[in-house]
Structure 1
Amino acid sequence: MSTAPPNDPDDAAEDAEDIADDVSADDAARDRRFDVELGTTAAVVVLFLVLRLLAVSHWHWNTVAAVADTFDFSDSFAIAFGTIAGQPWVTGVFVAILLPLALIRLLWPLPEHKGQITVSNVLAVVALAVVAFAMTYTYRNPWTLVGAAAFGLVLVLIRVFVHAGVLRRFAVGAITQIALIAGIGILVLAAVDDHPWMSEERIATTTHGTIDGWVLDEAPGFVHVLTADRDVLILPTGDITDRRLLD
């Protein structure tokens, strides 16, 4: 009959130290990933706003400076929403790509993504579905939903029947890099949408006649207006006799 050797206190202490070191390393890696993701998100937001200012100004530097002088970060949400609504065909294409990717990642995740369902994944699917429905209802055009269904079917067929090669790598890469695709889509929208984020107005004045443009800012005593020719006019409020929204 054999007896097991007694546990060595030094070995137990070393094992505990190794476990603590592994936990610390994992925590440090997660912190680094979070810092990278946060920094990337901030960079995308800044680049998005810069591209929107450039596009709205028709890439004229002096106009960019004048528009930026009236910019307020509280307008960021209005700018983002206006960008999505300003170019419906471009938005529709990206929604048709992103919606099936987000659904597949949520409902049929890759092996490395199993157990990683987060609130952000669910909210992304809900937001994309709402945008797709709203665009379909507004424009009476089903092509966003049809395109999403077609692209999703292609991805499913590739995952089921193609086990290697370029198509497989394309499908897996698209599902894995959905955040990158979304970021590229947002920046493309920002660069191609030259419509300002506020409603266009017809402004009657005593000094400049009637002006069609967008009111950038209403400072005490003055109104900053971006005209259709992408000039920024500063009008005294006393010179404005009428303002009407244009359809």
Structure 2
Amino acid sequence: MTTGNDHTGGGGAGSALTGAALLFVLLRLLAVSHYDWHTAFALLHTLDLEDAPGLFLGTFMADSRISSALLVLMVPLTVFYAVGTRSRAAPLATAVLVAFLVAHVLTYHRWWVPVGAVVLTVLVVVVERLRRRPGLTGVVTFVLRRFGYVVGAVALVVAALVATPWVPLERIGTDEPFEGYVMETSPGFLKVLGAQEREFRILRAEDVRSRTELADH
């Protein structure tokens, strides 16, 4: 009986994770297409299974403003989660976030990001020490025990709001040069999403004279 229940629980968790991943991909397709159904459908056919890590990480790295806010929020929460739960995966996750933080600051010179993370950490500590007072009982504990749900909710909100695709912005040199995102490179063809109008185009490779990646976007 116990074994059966364990399998059921594991299957339920796996189904929930799969559903959340599908919802994340759907929201990304809709967001980058500015919620145009036809464009989102066209983009769907540029994705492959091996694109999943790039799609996920690219979502959080594409918009520097979103990245800044997420780092301020997630670094302290992850550190507290690592300390509070002593999970084996938590230190690795913390190290990855700190690496992202260092790279982000060195690239964009936003020194307020680590300062904001420290300030939020201090606020969390203060709330934790005041948690026995009326109205504050177990606030931090409540959040940390639901850390996975918090991370999932943040990921879905970001997926729905970030309109920047998960690939670099490029200047495409054709008869009429334009800025866009190369979503897929097939033999002889490029599938491109326009940066401004979000028009989905299929270009012949021979018509593309140059491709220049634009760093500031």
Normalised to the residue count of structure 1, the TM-score between the two structures is 0.77
Residues 143-181 of structure 1, C-alpha deviations (whole Å, 9 max, x = no match): 222222222222222222331432223222112111111
Per the alignment, residue 189 of structure 2 pairs with 222
Residue 209 of structure 2 is aligned to residue 245 of structure 1:
no
Structure 2 CA distance for aligned equivalents of residues 217 and 236 of structure 1: 12
Match in the other structure for 1:5: none
Question: Deviation at 1:244?
Answer: 2.6
Q: Aligned-pair distance for 1:61?
A: 0.6
For 1:232, the equivalent position in structure 2 comes to 200
- Over 3 Å counting, the alpha-carbon distance change for 1:33 and 1:129 in structure 2 is farther
The 5 A counterparts of 1:34-73 are 34-73=10-49
Partner of 2:94: 125
Aligned amino acid, residue 26 of structure 2: V
- Determine the structure 2 residue equivalent to 1:19: none
Counterpart contact for 2:170–2:213, Cα < 8 Å: yes
Aligned counterpart for 2:148 among listed residues 173, 176, 179: 179
Deviation at 1:28, TM superposition (A): 4.8
Q: Quick check: which has more Rg, 1 or 2?
A: 1
CA shift, 1:53, in A, is 0.9
Residues 169, 213 of structure 2: 8 Å contact kept:
yes
2:64 matched residue in structure 1: 88
- In 2, the alpha carbon distance for the partners of 1:223 and 1:106 equals 44
Q: Per the alignment, in what secondary structure is the counterpart of residue 164 of structure 2?
A: coil
- Closer, same or farther: CA 28–166 of 1 in aligned 2, 3 Å: farther
Kindly provide the amino acid, as one letter, of the partner of residue 75 in structure 1.
Answer: D
Count of residue correspondences: 214
Cα deviations by residue, 1:73-103 (Å, 9 ceiling, x for unpaired)? 2112121221111223323323322322222
**Off by >6 Å, runs of 4+ in structure 1:** none
Contact 1:87–1:189 (CA under 8 A) maintained in structure 2: no
Identical columns (%): 27
Question: 2: CA distance between counterparts of 1:121 and 1:239?
Answer: 49
User: Please, what is the CA RMSD of the aligned residues?
Assistant: 2.2
Residues 1:38 and 1:68: Cα distance change in structure 2 (over 3 Å): same
Residue matched to 1:106: 82
Change (3 A) 1:166 1:99: farther
The two structures have a TM-score, normalised by structure 2, of 0.86
Q: Which runs of structure 2 are paired with 1:193-204 in the superposition (5 Å)?
A: 193-204=162-173
| Unpaired stretches in structure 1, ≥5 consecutive residues | 1-23
Aligned to 1:137: 106
The one-letter code of the counterpart of 1:243 is: R
Matched, 1:147 2:93: no
